[in-house]
Each structure stands twice: as C-alpha cells, then as structure tokens.
Structure 1
Amino acid sequence: MIKKKQHFVSQFYLKNWAGKDDRLFALINNNVMPMKTREVAHSNYFYKVDGVNDDERAFLLKEVSSLAEPIKSMISGLINSFHIIHKFSIDVNGETEESRIIKTNAIEDVYCIVEELALPSLDIIKKEEYGEIDIFGYSYVVRYINFQLARTPAVKNKIKNSTESLLRDKNIRFDSYYMIYSLIIAERISLQLINKLYKLVVINNKTNINLITNDNPVKNLNPIDKVEVKLFLPLSPKQGLLLEPSELPDEKVKTPLEDLSKSQYYLSVTDCYDQDYISKLNLITWNNKERSAFSYKESDLKILIS
C-alpha cells in the first residue's frame, strides 16, 4: 500500500510525549493545542523518489561506496531500483503499481528498519536497565539519533540551499538525489561516531520541568566551526540523550567493537536535578524547531512562548 502521510519525526518517538489518549501538545502557528501524534510532523509523499537518472546513479553509488555492510548493500540496491524505475518510465512511458509503491515507500521503510533495530536498547534506557545495552545495541542507538538528524525538512532545506545549483550543473536533480543521500549522510556520520566510540550519555531529568521536543529534534550543541559534534536528542519528558566525544585514550578507541564488552566505555548515565540546565536544553530545542514544538503538558510550551 502506498503511504501518503509520511512522518519525518516518527510517531514511535512522539508517543513519548503523548497522554493516554495518544495526544500531545503541539505548537502550530503560535498556538498550543492538543493533537494526536499521527497529525503532526508529517508531509504528503515526503520520501517519494521519482527515480534516478544515469548521472544521479553514478554519483550516489560513489557516495555509498565508503559505507559498511549491510547498509552499503541496502542503499546500493535502492539506488539501482530507482534507476531501473527511471529507465522503465522513459522506455515504457508509464509505471506499475509495484514501482509506485517503491518510489513512495522505500526510503521511509529504511528509516523504519533503523528504528526497529534501536527499539530494544531504547526500551532498556527507558526502564533504566543500562547494563543490558551491549556495544551493538549502542551502535543502533547512535544510528537512531543520526538517522533522525538527517530526515527532517529543516536539514533537507539547509543542504538544498548550499548544493542545489552545484548538483544541477552535474545533471543531478536535488529532490531525486537528497532522499537517498540522507540515508548515506546518516550512516556516514554514525560510522564516524561509532568508530571514535562517542559516549552515549543518558540524562535522567529529575526536575519538575519536562523536556520538550520539536520537528527537528536533534541538535549539535557544539559551535558549527568545531570539528567534533555533540548531539542532543530529547527522548521523553524525563530523559534526554547526548552523543559526545570519548575521553578514552586512542588505543582504547581503536579496540575492535566486539572486544569492548564493558558498557562504561561507551555509555554513561547522569541524574539531573538542575532546573536551569533542563530549561536551557528546552530553550535550545525551542530555538531549533522549524515550525512546531511538542510537549507533554500545555504549560511546557506556553512558558516558552511568553
């Protein structure tokens, strides 16, 4: 079935801010109102790719060559499928129902797979059973954060503004290229952070102030001119995730991942009782939104509007 309404912030994620009736509070056009998670952070056919031409295929396959398996083969397969669909639509002057489903659903399906792989570790974090997260669970959470970073309209528009004219000179259409490239960006950043053994910090919010989120929820807290990133993702009203550079010596960072069986190498937990710090994180999240912000309580957003 073709998915018309496609979320760029997943409903699974947004449900962390929803009450029993599956409603959260959303800032829409400067008004705060209760809305169901399925009604926010989506756009019709957002992930649709109409196909890739010969130049787009060659360019994307070159970009994907630096990735690791199995993501490398998965994205390469998508590129080739979209290329076949493009040639078929030209040669036959039409398309099949199967090709329409692939064009519309395939990219979102990859994001869903990444989310499903991270679910067990995210559930462990929510239950505060951190010792059960192994190095592979850690790597799935790193991907979860970076794939969410790459999939929003805000990030797409930033990249479009800086690259569209350059790509056009190479016969590459931005809208056909970017949805596939967003997967490549997300995996490339993930591999860099995993290989550097970035620390995943769980912030347990012990204050009476709830964390909020938005339609562009991952924020780099470091200045843009700094090489190393420090990524923050609100996970729920009472938990947030930070990915920050490792403090381990280089020889330990270079240890093969499967040999790092102790979670203290890549995971830490902090209980935060500092209301000013939580308020600061909320202000950062508020300022990083593109159009909408979301909260568990109406007052969590209204205090920021004022």
Structure 2
Amino acid sequence: MAVFSPRKFSFSIIFLGLMTVLRSQAALDVHYYDRTCPEAEKIIRYTVLNASMHDAKAPARILRMFFHDCFIRGCDASVLLDSTPQNQAEKDGPPNISLRAFYVIDDAKTKLESACPKAVSCADIVAIAARDVVAMSGGPFWNVLKGRKDGRISKASETINLPAPTFNVSTLIQSFTKRRLGVKDLVALSGGHTLGFSHCSSFQARLHNFSSVQDIDPTMNPEFAETLKKKCPKPNKNGNAGQFLDSTASTFDNNYYKQLLAGKGVFGSDQALYSDYRTKWIVESFANDQSLFFKEFATSMVKLGNVGVMENGEVRLNCRVVN
C-alpha cells in the first residue's frame, strides 16, 4: 500500500502563467474563491491526502474521475450524480463502475458546506482534487482555474463516448478533437495512466486469439504478454484480476512512456501511441524528459478543465443530487 505524507505533499510548483491565460468562456479564475471560501483548496487538499493515506487506489480513481467527467458533458460534475428510478446516471455506466472514490468528494463537500455554505461547486472540487492527487504522488502542481458550475443531467448511455482501451490513434485523435484538445494533449493526458490499475477485461483481447493469424497482439512485448496471460487466463474466473498500468503505479512519473517504448503498454490504445507516426515522437520525448512531460501534462489538464464549462448551472449542496 502506498504511503503518503504531508512532507511529500510539499509540491514542486511548475508555474505556467496559467493565472492570466487559457481563460474559458465561463471566465474561470485562479482567485475565484478568495473572498467566498479562501480555505477551499486547503480543505480539499487535506481531505484528499487523508483518503489517500487510507486507500491506495483513491489517487488513480480521482484522477480518472476528472477525465471521465470532463469527457461527457464537460467538467460539470455530472459523473457524481446518483441514478434515480427514472434515470441511470453516468456513474453506473460500464466505464465508471470501478471509479469508487466518490466518497472522497462527498467528504470534501461536507466540510466545505460547513466552512462556506453554497459557495464551492462539486465540479471545482473534482478539478482541484485531481490536481492534488497528481502532486501528492510526485507529479506536477498547477494553478486550477475555478468557477465551474454543476450540471443537472447525467446519463449512463453517454459513457459510450469515453475513449476506449481498444481505440486506435485516429479514433483517439477524433475523440480529443471534439473536446478541442490536440495530439500533444492526447499523449500527455494518456500519461495519467502512470497511476492506475486495469481489470483483465480491458486488455484480455490482446492476449488470446488476437487475430486469425496471431494469438497475441504483435505490438506487445512477448515476455510481458506471457506475464499477463498468467494473470488473465482464459477463461478467467477471478473478476478482480488485472494489471497495474505502470510498474511504478503509486508514483506519478514518466515510466508509463518508457513502458510503451519497451512494448509493455497494457491497453491497446496506449501501445498504439508508440506505433503511430503522429504520436510516436511525443511518446519518445516524454520518455526521455520527465520535466517536459510534467509541464505538458499540467498544461493539458488546464485545457481539459475548460471543456464544456457551464455558465448557467448550479452549486449543488449535495454532489449526488441536483438542488
């Protein structure tokens, strides 16, 4: 189990000038809560830190939560809404079943409502928490632009629009382009897989009967494939079996890219980044220069945080239900 400490949480700040650039249409601002809830970031930070000390999977799940929220209806906390008898919400869509860190956001929201009622949106909590889990895991720190509002619509059927682990690079580029994110953003944000774990179901097709002529995906390192086969036999009766997406899965670093160079990407969509001329050079750049990866990841996270920001939403009192 990974251990997090307040000392490790003293960030190495990468200042990107984000306080004055990359404003969204909804006029997000680094200083949005300076008057209405000046302790907001501190409250969220220590809530996330405490959760991570007791749950080693929380950081990866919170980071993934931010991605999955922003990629559906924009960064509006729609992924946090509970299903109702009349509607199955995003969190119950197949790609989101394993998120399971909603309790961390609930805890932060409860504390924030006590400190400054009706001030901090659930969407901003998710954005700040995602930054904090990256920083506390050894990755970059960036200034989160704030002022998002919470959406009122959440549909499980829309999770089909999330990038899948089987996507090729062309499909990935199309998906990111729809969110006004470029090829460099695609490769940088994919580096978020440096934290995380996948169940066998997401990559097992690469290991058994991959094609009519090859049993294993030829882009996969043969020894790595045999290791995964032992963890994910066919048929696989262990629903919890799987593989960490990075050999240093509790540390945010550039090892994810080094694994791609070695043919050890777990997802087909990950390994494809090193097989396509449009993305290969970026993978190599990040594998060779961790500081460059950190800089570009922080920049891309700010851009992702601007996707679909609402001007006419609400500030939920409970992140699980609309007001």
- TM-score after normalising by structure 2: 0.27
Structure having the larger proportion of residues in strand = 1
Structure having the larger proportion of residues in helix = 1
Structure with max Cα Rg: 1
- TM-score after normalising by structure 1: 0.28
Q: Which has the higher contact order (CA 8 A, sep 6+)?
A: 2
